[in-house]
Every structure is written in C-alpha cells, then in structure tokens.
Amino acid sequence: MQNDDAVHARPAAATVPVLGESAQVRALLQLRELILSGELPGGTRIAELAIVERLGMSRTPIRAALLRLEQEGLLAALPNGGYVVQSFSERDIADGIELRGTLEGLLARLAAERGASTAALAEARQCLAGIDELLASPTLDEQKFSRYVALNSRFHVLLYELADSPTITRQLERAASLPFASPSGFVVLQIHSPRARDMLVVAQDQHRQVLDAIEAREGARAEAIMREHSRLARRNLVEVLDGRHLPDSRGALPSFKLIRRR
C-alpha cells in the first residue's frame, strides 16, 4: 500500500501502489484465496511460472500480485528467487487492521485540521462516484468486484494525499505489510456474499462521511469515522471467511487453514 520517503509534493500517491489493472486485481484475489484455503499451505514455496500455469494468466499480473502479497505479509521472498507462504494468527489480523485504522484516522484528522484543497476533495469524490456506479448493481460479478477493489484502493491513496504527511504515510507502509491490514485485503468469496456487499455499501457511506468531515474541518469526527471504517473491514472479512451469510452452496474457506486460531 505504500513505499519510500523521498517524495514531498504528493507523497502518498508515489508511496502507495494502486491496483488499477483488472487482470492484476483478479490475480491477486485468486492467489490470496488459494493461500487462505490451504491449497498453498504455510511453508509452501511458490514460483512465478508455476502460478502462471495454474491460473492461466500472463506473467505481468502474476508478478505484480506476488509482489503485492509479499507487501501484505502473506508471502516472504526467498534469497534465491520465488516466495514462501507465511502463516499468522487471528490476532495478527485483528491487530494489523486496528493499526491501519488508527493511522488512517490520524491522517484523516490531520487532513481536516490542515485543510484540504477543493481540487483534491473533488478528485476523491469522483473516485467515490465510480464506486457508487458499481454498488448500484444488486450483485457484483468478478469483473465489477475487481473494479471495486481498485477504486477502493485509489480512494485510500487519495485520503492519504489529503493529509500531506510523508511521515505517517511511511508508518502506514509498514502496517500494510501485516496480513490483511491493506484496504485492498479482499478475497473472492466476498463476491458471493450478499451480507458482504451490504457492508461495502456501509463502507461507501463512511467514505463519503469522512470526506464531509474533512471538508468541514471536523478533525475528531474524521478520525472516528476512519477508525470505525477499519473495524467494519475486519468484521466483513471474518464473517465471509467463517462462511456466515454465504449462500448454502458456498461454505467457508476450508478450515481457514492458513490462520492459526487462538
């Protein structure tokens, strides 16, 4: 979600990779689910070419997805090439998402207190208009869901830009390396969950509320909204992975194998 610290004019845009390509997002979602389902269990070595063959996709989106999963803490790069699957606990997930919410809340408060330009706010609202179009559909297919993930990632990048704080953005970079701490830490099963889609609608309302708070210079309100926003993301993920609110034909990811239960 972030990188480096040498940029000053628009720090977060340069430091947070945006999931803009649909093929890359699809590769990311599919790989993340293979890992979580236990088809690629903890300790498994992953080679780029093997994943290309398995998913039937070109090397470019696969390479980008593998790098992204390394940044998220699901994979670790091996010195001689390739990656190894990591494992983690439920508490790791909860703490990572909570840390992200704390830092995003701080950025939102600073954006409100320092004042954001009309142009920057308009760009963020334009991004949300694109999400509104997607959520107008009663269901999301894989293509629309991939587009949602990309636009959601973009919105969070723009939110970081509103605060103009390279220091805090660097800390968010570190937080994004924790499992599921990234705002883009979705899984494919969320496409099939009506309850998950409802939560996306609530999350979109929170997106709009935080922009309103920033524009009104209400720092405490903006911070509180982003803290709650991260908790909604955590609840959504846990419910889907546990199989709750999914159609009967779809169960939870088998035993949620990658994650060590407390």
Give the per-residue pLDDT at 151: 93
Provide the CA 215 distance to its chain's centre, in angstroms: 24
Residue type, 64: A
What is the residue-wise DSSP string for 81-131? SSEEE--EEHHHHHHHHHHHHHHHHHHHHHHHHH---HHHHHHHHHHHHHH
**Cβ neighbours for 136, distance < 8 A, ≥ 6 positions apart:** none
Q: What does the domain layout of the chain look like in residue ranges? A: 90-248
- The dihedral built from the CA positions of residue 243, 197, 124 and 213, taken in this order, carries a sign that is negative
pLDDT of 139 reads 80
Specify the pLDDT at position 132.
Answer: 96
- pLDDT by residue for the chain (262 residues), tens digit each? 333 333 333 333 333 344 445 788 888 888 887 887 778 888 889 888 989 999 889 899 999 999 988 888 889 999 988 999 987 777 787 888 899 999 999 999 999 999 999 999 999 999 999 999 999 988 888 788 888 888 998 999 999 999 999 999 989 888 877 777 888 777 655 566 667 778 889 999 999 999 999 999 999 999 999 999 998 888 877 776 665 544 444 444 443 444 544 4
Assigned CATH for 90-248: 1.20.120.530
- Specify which residues 76 forms β-bridges with: 84
Terminal Cα-to-Cα distance of the chain (whole angstroms)? 28
